[in-house]
Structure 1
Amino acid sequence: MEAPITGTAAGVPFTALAPEGGGPAPLIVTWHMLDAPRSDAAFAAALPMHGLPAWRVHLGMPLCGARMVDGTMDAGLALIREDVLMSFLYAFARQAAEEFPDALASIRAQLPVGDGPIGLLGGSLGGAVALRILADTDTPVFAAAVVNAAIRMRSVVDLFPGEYPYDAVSEAAVDSLDFVAKADVIAGRAPLLVVSGELDHPGLRADALALADAAGAELLSIPGLAHPLADEPGIEPAPQSPHAREVDGGLAEWFRRHLASAQAE
């Protein structure tokens, strides 16, 4: 089993897991949750997809992992208090998506991943990033998957206390991250697996079912799984939980299936 490779790609920290032997292979890019596991290293430990004949490169989200300020998540918590949507949720998802093209070019320069279609994976808010790359760019993708994802950003805003004071700008921002509304585009881009914990937040669970139905995506329901995939604090790599192991197995099977299809073309 290859040891994780850490580095930066155009300023974005990453944890990379190599295929057996570490040679040339397709690329799967992931974005982690802001719940546990909330760093690229912790997400790689929770969902390593060992044995998959692909490079798995786990990118760090803004202000997380190696980009934490003073080694804590306090800066992110301050942004939640400032404006949970525009300063935190929308801002993080937008920054991660905008960083991606340069990060991808840097990954291709550093690792033997070639220039073919890639796989996408995102958990929670990282799922919104993966879906945005899928829906709003022309990046070639052979398959994508999301886990307990932020599929409709309004549903995520609703998880926070109080009634959010929407205006024209924030309405446009939150609507730009409604991927059920973009299901037709997503369906035409690449095969999608929607992984949903049966004990996830009810709004997020409903959105997962809605996206799977509207996009004709494959749905993998995980009994007993709530929203997080790891225990708190979720910053450092930790042993894989039983529920994460079940998700990991489903993801590995999904990407293995579509890697075979992509390589056969």
Structure 2
Amino acid sequence: MSTDVTASTVTYGDHADQHIAVRRPSADPRWTAVLIHGGYWRTKYRLDLMDPLADALADTGVAVWNIEYRRPDEHGWAATTADVAAAVAAVDADGPVAVIGHSAGGQLALRVAADTDRPVLAVSLAGVIDLATADERRMGDGAVENALGHRFDPDSPDDVASSPRHRLPLGVPQVIACGTDDDPNLIDISADYAQAAAAAGDEVATVTAPGDHFAIIDPSDRLWAATLAAIERALPL
């Protein structure tokens, strides 16, 4: 990490997972990135998945808030949703903010961006942003059912609120990115979502380029470089 970056931890609750790893540049940040890791909403995956991206962004003068949260396999879906909302509310930023989620974190990013009152850019990196399709196709060994505690129910207001595809328009600008070498299910979900969001009236930029599921969070990969360029073009001023 650059010597011009200060690292700290911000807590937003009493549980060990209710914390945010913050990286602040010494000068005023160009913008603020809120990172939300994936891992199919399972506890064994943690915020360190996003550390390389967080370091790289901080070294370019971006303030980075890499959030941890209680996962639903141990704490229930309501706890996860509440934690992400509380973490985003705890972010101290005056300028543009992008909420960036990878994989399952893409779902969390788009939901919290739609729920929050602060102006943000919502970014999905190979996101599981259609819970009905992910559940129907049993992606991640039934990850949606495991997270929600039941199969996706289109008649459940909370299930619909949790699935970005089912609550369009979100009313916030979005970047939807997915590598062409990723899981075909995620490629399908991202493409369908972007088309539907634009048709619903949302401002949507798409990124597709060679790369797999982890290339998109690899700061040295051209897929991430293309995504970062799209993010910086789309940031609300």
Using the size of structure 2 for normalisation, the TM-score is 0.72
1:176 maps to 161
Q: Secondary structure at the match of 2:51?
A: helix
**1:156-187 deviations in whole A, cap 9, x for unaligned?**
3321557x674869955443333223332x2x
Alignment partner for residue 55 of structure 1, among 63, 66, 77? 63
CA distance in 1, matches of 2:222, 2:141: 32
Q: Residue type matched to 1:182 in 2?
A: R
Note if 1:95 corresponds to 2:75: no
Identity of aligned pairs, percent?
18
The count of residues paired between Structure 1 and Structure 2 equals 216
Paired position in structure 1 for 2:49: 42
Residue of 209, 217, 222 corresponding to 1:222: 209
- For 1:170 and 1:181, the matched residues in 2 are separated by 11
Once residues 61 and 141 of structure 2 are traced to their aligned partners in structure 1, the CA distance between those partners, rounded to angstroms, is 43
1:33 corresponds to:
38
Mapped contact 1:152–1:178 kept (Cα < 8 A):
yes
Q: 1:25 to 1:167 in 2, by over 3 A?
A: closer
Residue among 194, 198, 202 paired with 2:180: 198
* Structure 2 counterpart of 1:149, from 106, 127, 141: 127
Query: 1:123 matched to which residue of 2?
Result: 102
Contact 2:154-2:160 within 8 A present in 1 as well: no
What residue is the counterpart of 1:211 in the other structure? 193
RMSD: 3.5
Q: Which runs of 5+ in 1 are unaligned?
A: 64-75, 81-86, 231-239
- Deviations along 1:73-119, whole A, 9 cap, x unmatched? xxx7xx39xxxxxx76xx1xx434322454345442xxxx33x5521
Task: Label 1:23 to 1:160 Cα distance change in 2 as closer, same or farther (>3 A).
Answer: closer
The whole-number CA distance in structure 2 between the counterparts of 1:107 and 1:224 is 31
CA distance in 2, matches of 1:41, 1:166: 29
Matched, 1:137 2:122: no
Q: Kindly provide the CA deviation profile for residues 14-52 of structure 1, in whole angstroms up to 9, marking residues without a partner as x.
A: 222333x34355322110111699422330314533554
Change (3 A) 1:204 1:10: same
Q: Which has the larger radius of gyration?
A: 1
- Matching residue of 1:189: 172
Q: Is the 8 A contact 1:18 1:54 kept in 2?
A: yes
Distance 1:166 1:249, change over 3 A: closer
Contact 2:29 2:61 in 1 (8 A): no
Distance verdict in 2 for CA 1:249–1:18, change over 3 Å: farther
**Letter paired with 1:148:** A
Structure number with greater CO (CA < 8 Å, separation at least 6) is: 1
Unpaired stretches in structure 2, ≥5 consecutive residues:
199-203
| TM-score w.r.t. length of structure 1 | 0.66
